[in-house]
Amino acid sequence: MIFHQIATGGCLSYLIGCAESCVAALIDPEARQIDRYQGLAGREGLRIRYVIDTHTHADHFSGARHIGQALGVPVVMHRRSSVRFVDMRLDDGDILLLGTMRVRAIHTPGHTQDSMCLLVEDRLFTGDTLLIGGTGRTDLPTGDPDALYDSLFTTLRNLDPSLKVFPSHDYKGQGSSTLEQEFALNPRLQKRGRAEFTAMMRELDLSAPMHMTEALRTNMSGGKTVAQMLSDASAKIPFMSLAELKDRVARGESDLLVLDVRERDAYEQGHVPGAKHLPRGQLELRVNSELPDPTQRILTVCEFGKISALAAATLRELGFMRAVALDGGMQAWRDSNFPIERS
Ligand SMILES: [Fe+2]
């Protein structure tokens, strides 16, 4: 088996491939690592054939939909998943063929109702059902301590104890474990009675994961995160550095229209000398009257250098083919002590 474990902070994803037939599956891809997965697969001579999420993630951004679309391959999840864009839904016991390898889905609800573990040769990809020294929590949407108890103490307990455990999260850089080690040492698995285990899970009192609202929204709908929106916009436009703009302003360059897209009060408190004001929220409404020349070179400016990228991408889409965004925003401009004009 060709095997790569890719860590993104505490989140783990996996690229597994069959060396003989050069086909691969991607397990629990993270949205920010899409280029890395494709690079790794290319380096190994693998073609990714399936993108599999072990469950609906609430704490990080799944890259499943976007990489599935980019590669034209199915996104695979358990049948009970409420994620809209899943192409192939698996039942307990279903097998995916990966060249000479077999990927078997084992339904292990509890952390979420759609959680599954994936058994591939001597490895068990446990998602958030079983972590190294822990388990997934059961207090997020569709979590159920009783179901997790059954998944751990019946389903996983009946598998070969020598199976290597590869979870979706590992905050201590341990990488892997075995079922035997986990049943012997994992503190949560020492609570062997149902009542004891479920009481422990109910009493964990964990804080909500960061970005949970955005993660559930995007992971369930396939919509974009704000970071993805900005990244996509940034890929469509060129930028100008703060220093370059300062020099051009000092030279009094007339060819360049600096367009400040912040709200009026921010603009009035201080803007790049000579900048024209057109808030991002009114760009499409006023573009025809305010920006009559599509051949004009327009530089968009905002507070932090993010919304200006969206504005420049919109202008390019509208036909302003020389629109660029400032690489940085007014905050960085002020921090650099570059000249300010007040209205
Ligand atoms: Fe999870």
The CA distance from 65 to 30, in Å, is: 10
Of 171, 201, 223, which one is at a domain's C-terminal end?
223
CA of 171 to the centre of ligand 1 (A): 13
Same domain, 113 and 237: no
Of 208, 223, 238, which one is at a domain's C-terminal end?
223
pLDDT of 41 above 90: yes
Q: Tell me the torsion sign for CA atoms 79, 82, 86, 87.
A: positive
Task: With cut-offs at 50, 70 and 90, classify the pLDDT of residue 209.
Answer: confident
The CA distance from 253 to 249, in Å, is: 6
The average confidence (pLDDT) of the chain is 95
pLDDT, tens only, 102-131:
999 999 999 999 999 999 999 999 999 999
Report the pLDDT value the prediction gives residue 59, as an integer from 0 to 100: 84
CA of 92 to the centre of ligand 1 (A): 19
Residue position matching structure tokens 């999420």: 53
Average pLDDT over residues 192-206: 94
Of all residues in the chain, what percent carry a pLDDT higher than 70? 100
CA of 332 to the centre of ligand 1 (A): 37
CA of 128 to the centre of ligand 1 (A): 5
The verdict on residue 196 lying in a domain is yes
Of the candidates 158, 108, 104, which has an alpha carbon nearest to the alpha carbon of residue 130?
A: 108
Residue 197 phi, psi (nearest 5): -65, -50
Report the pLDDT value the prediction gives residue 261, as an integer from 0 to 100: 98
Average pLDDT over residues 61-78: 94
Same domain, 29 and 150: yes
CA of 52 to the centre of ligand 1 (A): 14
Of 167, 192, 223, which one is at a domain's C-terminal end?
223
Q: Which of 161-165, 205-209, 289-293 has the lowest mean pLDDT?
A: 205-209
Task: With cut-offs at 50, 70 and 90, classify the pLDDT of residue 179.
Answer: very high
pLDDT of 47 above 90: yes
**DSSP 8-state code for residue 274:** T
What is the count of structural domains for the chain? 2
Same domain, 232 and 219: no
Report the pLDDT value the prediction gives residue 172, as an integer from 0 to 100: 84
pLDDT of 32 above 90: no
pTM as predicted = 0.81
Same domain, 243 and 148: no
CA of 12 to the centre of ligand 1 (A): 11
CA of 125 to the centre of ligand 1 (A): 13
Same domain, 105 and 183: yes
Report the pLDDT value the prediction gives residue 87, as an integer from 0 to 100: 96
The verdict on residue 342 lying in a domain is no
CA of 28 to the centre of ligand 1 (A): 10
CATH number of the domain bearing residue 241:
3.40.250.10
What is the domain range of residue 250? Answer: 228-335
Report the pLDDT value the prediction gives residue 60, as an integer from 0 to 100: 85
Report the pLDDT value the prediction gives residue 306, as an integer from 0 to 100: 96
Question: Distance between the two ends of the chain, CA-based, in angstroms?
Answer: 66
Average pLDDT over residues 224-242: 94
Task: With cut-offs at 50, 70 and 90, classify the pLDDT of residue 222.
Answer: confident
Report the pLDDT value the prediction gives residue 123, as an integer from 0 to 100: 98
CA of 16 to the centre of ligand 1 (A): 20
Same domain, 179 and 239: no
Same domain, 217 and 237: no
Residue list, CB under 5 A from ion ligand 1:
57, 128
pLDDT of 54 above 90: yes
CA of 59 to the centre of ligand 1 (A): 6
pLDDT of 278 above 90: yes
